[in-house]
Amino acid sequence: MSTPAIQSKLPEVGTTIFTVMSGLANQYNAINLGQGFPDYQMNEDLMNKVTEVMQKGWNQYVPMQGYMPLRESISEKVEYLYQTKISPDTQITITPGGTYAIYTALTTILQPGDEVIIFEPAYDSYIPNVEINGAVPVLIDLKFPAYKIDWNEVKQKISPKTKVIMLNSPHNPTGAVLSGEDMGQLREILNDKNIFIVSDEVYEHLIFDNIPHQSILRYPDLLERSFVCFSFGKTYNCTGWKLGYCVSSPAAMIEFRKVHQFNCFCCHTPSQVALAEFLKNRDAYLSLGVIMQQKRDHFIELMRSTKFDMLHSSGSYFICAKYNRISDELDKDFAIRITKEFGVATIPVSVFYKAGTDNKVIRFCFSKKNETLETAAERLTKI
């Protein structure tokens, strides 16, 4: 009997660089500053709360849209942070992580042949999410080395087929953030156009130097055409929970839930019940940016003793660095070599470009214990 063959929907996709570099880190006992996850414990009160609600019997399905008290807490948080009122009933859906929310939003919107504007370097799920839906990514480079959007180029790339503009702020992998001026340009461009926004805001609270986060949620007119995606894992240092949420207009959320209900239906109940109460502790998320900025600044200071030239990071877990004073190797080769020879794993930034654009830049994750960063920097001084 013959075995049926699968015609790949993603023929160009292989193993992600995160899997490759984390595997190398394990193989060579290297410090992993590549993949974006903390190496320190999450909030103990939140962990205890999950255990408590499990013991109380919160172990069965909650509604497909998510546990209502959690959606109410999110709605209260949005109004507090951004002065925008959203309905917990019709505008919020709890999802298994931010990446899932992005995929579901794009699947909700896109038809074959639609075009999606994506800024590169880009988080690695965006382009496959577009292509698996039969749509076409239209790629625009952020301007190196500040990684800013050229809005004139955006105007030039918009066509009658443009259906979505992807945004990501704070930005992974570069740590760049959108400004109020950026949002003004975006509003002007979209004013008379039938284009959606999918906004990746999973690093919402990881923003530094007293810069206000320019969330789509600040702008009700933009929210009407947007799907805004968030992550509890990034906020509460529990990336393995894979829990997030999406916010949209009532009409758009109806369509989002049609896709969601047949893919996931609902998410981990005990975590939702625990978060519904924990989210009311504003200091737990408001303090995160200050804590992470201290880690960023500590790492930058440590790296002054190396030959790396650090680029600016205004948010996220990440900071990028040029290594042109060290080597002219391709960034993938350089990242692999220093993992093997010096015991520090990073991510080459060229992997965040479809064409592999190589500016001789690698990305470090600084969401680590101070002693981890110090040991890594000590090893990097030897390069």
Q: What are phi and psi of 16, to 5 degrees?
A: -70, 155
Shared domain for 181 and 83, answered yes or no, is yes
In this structure, the answer to whether residues 32 and 154 fall within a common structural domain is no
Domain that holds residue 346: 17-42+286-380
Confidence at 305, pLDDT banded by 50, 70, 90: very high
Question: Dihedral of the CA atoms 90, 92, 93, 97 (nearest 10)?
Answer: 170
> Which band of pLDDT confidence, cut at 50, 70 and 90, is reported for residue 73?
very high
Domain closes at, from 261, 281, 301: 281
- Whole-angstrom Cα distance, residue 91 to residue 75? 9
Q: Could you tell me the pLDDT band of residue 13, with boundaries at 50, 70 and 90?
A: confident
Instruction: Count structural domains, the chain.
Output: 2
CB atoms within 10 A of CB 26: 11
Is the same domain home to 68 and 89? Answer: yes
| pLDDT score of 374 | 98
pLDDT for the residue 259? 98
Residue 55 confidence (pLDDT) above 80: yes
Regarding whether 231 and 122 lie in a shared domain, the answer is: yes
pTM exceeds 0.85: yes
Residue 2 confidence (pLDDT) = 81
Share above pLDDT 90 across residues of the chain, in percent, rounded to a whole number: 95
- Do residues 255 and 300 both lie within one domain? no
Residue 48: inside a domain, yes or no? no
Radius of gyration of the chain (CA): 21
Per-residue pLDDT at 21 exceeds 80: yes
Average pLDDT over residues 357-379: 97
- Find all residues with CB under 8 Å of 300, minimum gap 6, and list them: 310, 319
Q: What is the CATH number of the domain that holds 358?
A: 3.90.1150.10
pLDDT digits (tens, 9 = 90+) for 80-119: 999 999 999 999 999 999 999 999 999 999 999 999 999 9
Q: What percent of the chain has pLDDT over 70?
A: 100
Q: Is the pLDDT of residue 1 over 80?
A: no
Same domain, 201 and 335: no
The tens digit of pLDDT for each residue in 232-250 reads 999 999 999 999 999 999 9
CA distance 147 to 142: 5
Q: Could you please report the per-residue DSSP string of 92-115?
A: EEEESSHHHHHHHHHHHH--TT-E
CA distances from 292 to 40, 141, 232, 243, 369 (A): 13, 27, 16, 21, 11
pLDDT band at 54 (very low <50, low <70, confident <90, very high): very high
Average pLDDT, the chain: 96
CA distance 200 to 108: 16
Whether 250 is covered by a domain: the verdict is: yes
- The arrangement of strands across the sheet holding 347-348 comes to 309-310, 318-322, 361-365, 347-348
* Predicted confidence band of residue 328 (pLDDT cuts 50, 70, 90): very high
Q: Does some domain include residue 51? A: no
pLDDT attached to residue 330: 97
6 within a domain of the structure (yes/no): no
User: 122 and 188 share a domain?
Assistant: yes
pLDDT in tens, 125-168: 999 999 999 999 999 999 999 999 999 999 999 999 999 999 99
- CATH number of the domain to which 117 belongs: 3.40.640.10
